Structure 1
């Protein structure tokens, strides 16, 4: 199978692996973009198409389908932040984030949802974002869905997802299919390790090659350290080259000057860069209101084989429990299924020694359901805060308060009931003290009495949002509805860090749509062309 990345490099793409630099450099461009994930990739495509000279900065490596061998031991250290072991400051929440060209779009499970209407309504009421609505964003979502092949997944769900279908339908809980951004998918189930067949329409395969074909320059293994600014304008970005391990400094530096700077390093990386830079923050909002979808998991042993590593990872969901209360009431949650691969399963599973080994021996019969808790709407769910550690690298403080634990208990009960309704012979929350249950009656009583607190109940997340939130005024946000920084005129933020809350839905399509809008407005301004008219 042809590798389009290797073909592009052979044809002259401008790619600089900073670990190979023999001397420091100074570079000039029209626009410098920090990050190559959903926000950075879309921005690079649109700005390069407007004739602007674009430079992309990526801390991770450039990898492609030739490197994706469906092996966790290769993928996690190569493609993820902190080898897929990034955690909150107190180590209570595991966070999966990409760290490679394409960012998390290279390693996500392809689930694609538009921003829910009630989220737009809340943003308008609480943050004055009147310009953003279902109606105003509909065409932008449609454009990106067409471009990135976001389609209904018509293949029957794998057995892992089928458990959610069977149990929910028996209980009268509505479910639906998840749209996926894939083209010619082989249904292998290893999306989280990079797509070896080039079916996933990630930034690695779509927008970044498009920008490179137009002459954009891509730097990899280059860490953005500090934005330099004078008055109300950014003048330069200082970067540090990393060694081939992507961790340690290589000793060479790159300084980039540009007319405009776009920060798209994700909702932990972007606030961290602005904090390191000492960017104006008179209302002390930067890095605050950073949100996860805190995720709790329920594991079940089914009578037959599940083989949850095979087939489309996520193809079924239920929003039934998102709408049981007002959006600012008790936390709602979205139900989905995660794929299970041996390392991911073993490191998330509770227990140790023989108890852990016994569960691992049942690996092929395991179903897992997950609940994405929608944080950021209840008055007492204010998310977390990105700050800088002693080494200047980001740390996310994320207290798990009573509001989250109350939602987590409801979610664990709902998932256990669904799994038993689907025929499970044994169900356990992923919780260190749960003995597991052999009936719904037993589970209902046991889960109601489980102590829910950090390190006992396992909490994970693959979605980070906020920290550079949008609002109508600088008293309420870091950027405006266009992603433009309130205090520095030539600085934009184009990623999920601008969301004022979490979404209650997998965020990639929300980022694609919003960034397509904002990058198009920016392209019109910088190129002098009229802004696009989207029907």
Structure 2
């Protein structure tokens, strides 16, 4: 079945899309609003602002890839083209790899479609500790509902694949909470390649939804374009310098774009947005930019079954458990989910090398993996990390793991093993360089208690970046106000994951959609009358 390429059709009808790598001269570009970044925040804002009649310019440092470019199980090509630093981004000490999108559509292009509303306790924490207004669960519900309808978000109706069924069945046997995951898909073929770009346009990413809608309304999209520096003066942004990147999006070509806009929206993500502000020496009287940058540190547990699991096939995430997310003792909780197991991704999770890795890979068809997403940023000893810039102005992310977080990670190893054994696993091994396969829960529990919990021994990873430009009315703790407007700069907004004061305790996609839908609507109402008057 042939899949129409939206962008081939769009260009034929006049969409304004430019590849900065092909430019041969410097240029000046102007718009009512410039949006830096094309992911969940940038894409949502683009649709809303263009619908208000504003001229919009969107900048994306990655390339434009569409359904015809996404090849099933071509992991090497997908990771090198569609992810930050060719999927090599990590914390400054290399202890936590970071999976983050870098192409038109941002991380929405490559995420696993999990779309969960912000937990009520998280919203209450933000309101109480950061002065975030108008964001209680009942106040946000209409905005979440709006974006759920827009993006086809609904609980996955098909039977979970065998990989996700392990989490469901193990929780059932143990009497633990589990629930079906809502996914942003329409007409999904259940292929399982979501992390490599959807080849059938079923995933309702920004690439196939809001960005085409904005292009239909006259938005200009420039890709291979890296935002370098904002110019600040008199309490305003007066310009943005943009570097054209080469075809591989690795190096500047030497061509510069000078951008002028009435309003500037930053939506480059929780590492790139703080880095851009720091490079630009943005007003920051309380030194908050880049601080409290949070992740969901993730550990994993590997189980081998007598039956086939084939975790590479089918919806990558369809079952989750919040049973351990909000512990009664107030400690660090975690969410349980399942990752897909394409070979290249799986090999990085298995935490082994040489003959041991080869043996693990031979058992991959019978292997299940559970992951635990730690809830970071809610406790004094787990208050996120820091984004800074190096001497060349590039982002660096420092992140430490303190004892309470290590304790939660150890606890998660035990609970995941218990669920896997309950679901029928014949052996379980924590993703830890010192662990071995364990044939019983008693053996696993004793071994996990003795594992050294430290960086580069326990396997950690993250795909969720939040914070660094906290949102709220407390100006001493927050960079932007409750509507995403910069506290010190009149014509600057931040609409991405960096706006959250902590991690979320859920996959961040829908939280970004909901908050940006609300905040971009308020911005459009403020800017549209001025734009009409100027016209």
Same fold? TM cut 0.5 = yes
Which whole-Å CA distance do the structure 2 matches of 1:366 and 1:304 have between them? 9
Deviation at 1:231, TM superposition (A): 1.2
Map of 1:297-446 to 2, 5 A cutoff?
A: 297-325=300-328, 329-446=330-447
Following TM superposition, by how much is the alpha carbon of 1:10 offset from its aligned partner in structure 2, in angstroms? 2.1
Match of residue 69 from structure 2: 67
| Structure 1 residue 529, shift from structure 2 partner | 8.8
Query: Counterparts in 2 of 1:6-405, with a 5 A limit?
Result: 6-70=8-72, 71-325=74-328, 329-405=330-406
Unmatched 5+ stretches in structure 1: 531-535
Note the residue ranges of structure 2 that are not aligned, 5 or more in a row. none
Task: For 1:225 and 1:49, locate their aligned partners in 2 and report how far apart those are by CA, in whole Å.
Answer: 28
Aligned to 1:533: none
- TM-score w.r.t. the length of structure 2 is 0.98
* Further displaced range: 33-42 or 464-473: 464-473
1:524 and 1:76 mapped to 2: Cα distance?
Answer: 39
- Structure 1: distance between partners of 2:474 and 2:90: 32
Distance 2:328 2:100 in 1: 30
How far residue 167 of structure 1 moved from its aligned partner, in angstroms, is: 0.8
Aligned-partner SS, 1:241: strand
**CA–CA distance in 1 between the matches of 2:310 and 2:349?**
17
Q: Scaled by the length of structure 1, what TM-score is found?
A: 0.98
How many Å separate the matches in 2 of 1:8 and 1:63?
14
Q: Please give the per-residue CA displacement for 1:262-294, whole angstroms capped at 9, x wherever unaligned.
A: 000000010010000000111011000000000
Q: Is the 8 A contact 2:33 2:57 kept in 1?
A: yes
CA distance in 2, matches of 1:213, 1:173: 47
Per-residue CA deviation, residues 182-226 of structure 1 (Å, 9 max, x unaligned), is: 000000000000000100000000000000011100010100000
State how far apart, in whole Å, the 2-side matches of 1:278 and 1:130 are. Answer: 28
SS in 1 for 2:314: coil
Which aligned pairs between 1:482-497 and structure 2 lie closer than 5 A?
A: 482-497=483-498
Counterpart contact for 2:35–2:265, Cα < 8 Å: yes
Between the aligned partners of 2:443 and 2:192, the Cα distance in structure 1 is 33
What CA deviation, in whole Å up to 9, does each residue of 1:437-460 have, x standing for no partner?
A: 111110011101110100000100
Separation in 2 of the partners of 1:232 and 1:33? 19
The 1-side partners of 2:349 and 2:153 are apart by: 30
Q: Given that residues 325 and 332 in structure 1 are in contact (C-alpha distance below 8 angstroms), is that contact kept between their aligned partners in structure 2? A: no
Task: Report the 3-state secondary structure (helix = DSSP H, G, I; strand = E; otherwise coil) of the residue aligned with 2:221.
Answer: strand
CA deviation vs aligned residue, 1:301-329 (integer Å, no higher than 9, x gap): 01111000000000000000012225xx3
Asked if 1:504 corresponds to 2:501, the answer is no
Q: Could you report, residue by residue, the CA deviation over 1:507-526 in whole angstroms, capped at 9, with x for unpaired residues?
A: 00000000000000000000
Hey, which bits of structure 1, 4+ residues long, moved more than 3 A?
Answer: none
How many pairs align?
Answer: 528
Check whether the contact 2:374–2:505 (CA below 8 A) recurs between aligned residues.
Answer: yes
Q: CA deviation at 1:473?
A: 2.6
Q: Give the drift of 1:367.
A: 0.1
CA distance in 1, matches of 2:423, 2:278: 49
Cα deviations across residues 348-382 of structure 1 (Å, max 9, x unaligned)?
22121111111111111110000000001112111
Residues 48-94 of structure 1: CA deviation (Å, up to 9, x unaligned): 00000000000000000000012101100110001112110000001
Is the contact between residue 243 and residue 254 of structure 2 (CA under 8 Å) also seen in structure 1?
yes
Contact 1:287 1:387 in 2 (8 A): yes
Q: Helix, strand or coil: the match of 1:86? A: coil
- After superposing the two structures, state which structure 1 stretch, 121-130 or 30-39, moved more: 121-130
